[in-house]
Amino acid sequence: MPMIASIADIEAMESVPLLEHQLPESTYEAVKRAAQAHPEKTALSFFLRAADYHDAFTWRYDEFLAAIHRTANMLGELGVGPEDTVTSILPNLPESYFTLLGGEAAGIVNPINPLLEPRVIAEIMNAAETKVLVTLGPFPKVDMWERVASILDQVPTLETVLQVDLGRYLGGWKRWLVKGIGLAKPKVKVRARVLDFEKSLSRQAGDRLLSGRVIKADDIASFFHTGGTTGVPKLARHTHFNEVYNGWAAGEVIDAQPGQTAYLGLPLFHNFGAIAIGINSFIHAAHVVIGTPQGFRGEGVFDHFWKMLEHFKVDYFGAVPTVYQVLSNRSNDGVDLSRLKLANCGAAPLPVEVANRFTEKTGVPIQEGYGLTEATSVCSVNPRDGESRVGSVGLRLPYQEMRTAVVSGGEIERFCEIDEVGVVVIRGPNVFPGYKEEVHNRGVFVDSGDGAGPWLDTGDMGRMDAEGYFWLTGRKKELIIRGGHNIDPRQIEEPLAAHPAVAMAAAVGRPDPRVGEVPVVYVELHPGKSATESEILAFAEEHIGERAAVPKAVYIVDALPQTAVGKIFKPELTRAQVREVFDLELGRLDGIASASVQAEGDKRLGTVARVQVRPAADADRGELEASIRSVLGQYSVHHELEIR
């Protein structure tokens, strides 16, 4: 494979038509090819507890393919056909991948975030028309089954529930103890039939697909839910070739090879973990290590992380900025990380200070990328073998077009010049065919009039530099990105509109050094009505369907800022949050006599904080500047510092 170090290398690669790469047409065929070529290589490893990483369960590629066959055959026996939906509500487990790939071989898979509120889960399942559900069975100190079971009778299309026994990954007496505790729990009755996943799987043939299905490239493989609103959830349809191409292209950019090892700590209900790490690795016959059901959130994961990378000889892993911030502060003394060549970051902007600290600690640069569910997963990434520009989201994928444009009225008026900010638009084999509900497709695609097909309007603002690197400058869609998770402001604003005292609400992101942004909400009350901030916050906690979307703070204001045409002007609120956060940080530092922070919009950089500091008389200017840059550098907000 040619080295990809620049946009010129991508263009050279594209001189060969994509069809000549003879990619498989389906995710099933992709794994089958890998298993036939490398049957004895390790495909998957899993450990339940971080402290037990030495005793991982493993599957070779021939065993992994057999598990996918059995899963697909089991689902086929339950009546799942190419147009039927299998919903997966699971933590990170081998069964999550069996269900994803086996389910795509039988029908359509719909992974759902287990942390969503039950009523939101029911909305998604109804939108997906779920026929079979795969989820955890009862397990001590895990309430997933109880939460999920509470809404299953609200899904009329649901026929069968397959329960995964987490206890199977416990050794000896612990497994029997857990089983005994489970039997002692009161039974939760549901209308659908409930079967044991492992027992049902064991009865199936593992050498072939009994259905004989021939999967076509444009068959729908999955429904991934997007950030969501309080109305009908948006389900992004992915074709089999969407996922195959995206996994293949992402692997080409990072030079994935058979026998390499990827560590997976990202959730498998999200495309980053499921496709950019998982399917990418399986297409290239690499080894995926699933580190605990909770991923990076698992108890003890960060305590053992460097040792785990050493033990499994990990070549690459992907994470969100919050993970890199934690790892930058964890000692890796005495650990051999010589195999680690790539650390990839996506889903949210990466603060420069965090990137620099991680690279100083490991010698490995973080390669930022960009993607979205509507583009299957990855759209661009900094090249492994070329210059990795901190703050940039890198070069476009091979065979995928990516531009910035001036968009108006559903059409592209013109494409932007070099370094001119516009809407990021993409076109290519990773772009989805649209949402499941046609009503959600209005305004998603825009036409340039070139006759080569529509472009996906990503809703993100950015610019492309002279070397083809893309830089994001803001979000037209106003999403709040918390730890890589998209929160639609309407998830907050619409429930609060039902409060009798609330006239208008506007949710924005507050800069946060740990998760990038947290939601806060500004509220304007009806004339003559009264409510306290704590009362409104309590109302929000009760009525907002996703815990991550519950605002961290409520601000009651006399009037929300508005544009000339009467729309709420959120940039002013966002900038107020930047000023407040930076003022608080500066107030904690010694050696400052006075400071001022101005937050402004910038065409090239998005929101910019302009910080002016007057040092105290006895302050060391060099040390003070270093302290300020270290503290403010934890945030993804661009800042300019002037010490007077």
Per-residue pLDDT, 35: 97
Can you list the domains of the chain with their CATH numbers? 7-381 (3.40.50.12780), 400-475 (2.30.38.10), 480-553 (3.30.300.30), 572-643 (3.30.360.10)
The set of residues, in sequence order, having a beta carbon less than 8 Å from that of 575 and lying 6+ positions away, is 599, 600, 601, 607
Q: What is the pLDDT of residue 547?
A: 82
Q: Specify whether the CB–CB gap between 382 and 366 falls below 8 A.
A: no
CA atoms of 228 and 205, how far apart (whole Å): 38
Q: Hey, which bits of 123-215 come out as E strands? A: 130-136, 160-164, 193-196
Selection from 581, 570, 558 nearest residue 631 by Cα: 581
Consecutive sets of 10 residues in the chain, 644 residues long: mean pLDDT of each? Answer: 82 93 96 97 96 95 98 98 97 97 98 88 94 93 90 96 92 59 65 95 95 96 74 83 95 88 93 92 96 92 95 92 82 91 80 80 88 93 86 93 90 92 94 92 89 91 93 74 76 84 88 89 88 92 85 92 67 91 92 89 76 90 89 87 87
Q: Are 109 and 133 in contact (CB under 8 A)?
A: no
User: CA dist 425 to 284, 371, 375, 611, Å?
Assistant: 28, 12, 11, 33
pLDDT at res. 229: 38
DSSP line for 491-509: HHHHHHTTSTTEEEEEEEE
Write down how long the chain is. 644
Q: What is the pLDDT of residue 228?
A: 44
**E strand or H helix at 582:** helix 570-587
Count CB atoms within 10 A of the CB of residue 564. Answer: 6
Nearest to residue 633, comparing CAs of 357, 369, 322, 393? 357
Token pair belonging to 328: 């930058």
Predicted pLDDT of residue 563: 60
